[in-house]
């Protein structure tokens, strides 16, 4: 066997380290959440993050709206808001808004 090929012990050592690091990275969030479960900060984040994430998604979506795509974007956004105010269901309002956007963009672009 050429000298550039590592031995079997080296390969198993690298695989062991990879396993340990992967396991630790997957377990870390659960361990951290267990210690912060009754934290006021985590409670605050749980109440405010969904709205913050939605604002960021809307800003990211509307940042590239041009002259020919503003009308479908407004229709999709208005539909999303209307369905969310009507049903208070984030998944339903997202799907409805996306569908309205696709239909509007098929007709107006």
* pLDDT tens digits, 17-29: 999 999 999 999 8
Q: What region does 39 belong to: left with phi over 0, alpha with psi -120 to 50, or beta?
A: beta
| C-alpha distance across the termini of the chain, in Å | 63
pTM greater than 0.85: no
Q: Name which of 76, 69, 73, 70 is nearest 99 in CA terms.
A: 76
Residue 109 has pLDDT above 70, yes or no: no
Which is higher by pLDDT, 2 or 82? 82
Which is higher by pLDDT, 101 or 109? 101
**Interval 25-66: pLDDT, tens:** 999 989 888 888 888 888 888 888 888 888 898 898 888 888
């Amino acid at each position: 066997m050429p000298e550039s090929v590592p031995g079997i012990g080296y390969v198993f050592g690298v695989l062991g380290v990879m396993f340990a690091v992967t396991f630790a990275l997957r377990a870390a969030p659960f361990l951290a959440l267990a210690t912060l479960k009754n934290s006021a900060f985590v409670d605050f984040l749980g109440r405010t993050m969904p709205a913050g994430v939605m604002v960021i998604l809307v800003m990211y979506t509307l940042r590239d709206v041009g002259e020919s795509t503003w009308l479908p974007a407004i229709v999709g956004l208005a539909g999303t808001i209307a369905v969310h105010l009507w049903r208070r269901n984030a998944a339903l309002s997202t799907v409805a808004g996306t569908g309205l956007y696709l239909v509007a963009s098929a007709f107006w672009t």
